[in-house]
Amino acid sequence: MDWKNEYQRWATATSLDEELKKDLEALKGQDKQIEDAFYKNLEFGTGGMRGEIGPGTNRMNLYTIRKASEGLAQYIDAHGEESKKRGVAIAYDSRHKSPEFAMEAAKTLATHGIQTYVFEELRPTPELSFAVRKLNAYAGIVITASHNPPEYNGYKVYGEDGGQLPPKEAAEVISYVDGIDNELEVQVTSEEKLKEKGLIQMIGAEIDAQYIEELKALRVNTSLLEEMGDQLKIVFTPLHGTANLPVREGLKAYGFNQVTVVEEQELPDPNFSTVSSPNPEEHAAFELAIKYGEKQDADLLLATDPDADRVGVAVKNKEGQYVVLTGNQTGALLLNYIITQKKENGELPENGAVLKTIVTSEIGRKIAEDNGLTSYDTLTGFKFIGEKIKEFETSGEHTFLFGYEESYGYLVGDFVRDKDAVQACLVAAEVAAFYKSKGMTLYEGLLEVFEQYGYYQEGLESLTLKGKEGAEKIVSLLAQFREQPPTEAAGLSVESVEDYQTSVRTHLKKEATEKIDLPKSNVLKYKLEDGSWFCLRPSGTEPKVKFYFGVNGDNLDNSKNKLSELRKSVMSKVHERLG
Q: Which residues are catalytic?
A: 146
How many CA atoms, within 13 angstroms, populate the side-chain half-sphere of residue 184? 17
Distance, in Å, from the CA atom of 320 to the CA atom of 307, rounded to the nearest integer, reads 31
Distance, in Å, from the CA atom of 528 to the CA atom of 182, rounded to the nearest integer, reads 50
> Which residues partner with 53 through β-bridges?
60
Amino acid at 185: E
Q: How many helices (H) and strands (E) does the chain have?
A: 20, 23
| CB contact burial 299-326 (16+ within 10 A = b; e otherwise) | bbbbbbbbbbbbbbbbbbeeeeebbbbb
Distance, in Å, from the CA atom of 379 to the CA atom of 393, rounded to the nearest integer, reads 20
Residue by residue, DSSP assigns 43-109 as: P-BTTBEEEEBSSSTTSBSHHHHHHHHHHHHHHHHHT-HHHHHH-EEEEE-SSTTHHHHHHHHHHHH
Distance, in Å, from the CA atom of 389 to the CA atom of 383, rounded to the nearest integer, reads 10
Under 8 Å between Cβ of 89 and 102: no
Under 8 Å between Cβ of 155 and 143: yes
Distance, in Å, from the CA atom of 3 to the CA atom of 535, rounded to the nearest integer, reads 35
Under 8 Å between Cβ of 69 and 49: no
Residue by residue, DSSP assigns 462-491 as: EEE--HHHHHHHHHHHHHHHHHS--SEETT
Distance, in Å, from the CA atom of 458 to the CA atom of 193, rounded to the nearest integer, reads 54
C-alpha dihedral sign at 322, 324, 328, 331: positive
Distance, in Å, from the CA atom of 126 to the CA atom of 140, rounded to the nearest integer, reads 11
- Per DSSP, helices labelled H in 297-420 are 327-344, 363-370, 382-395
Query: Phi and psi at residue 560, in whole multiples of 5°?
Result: -65, -40
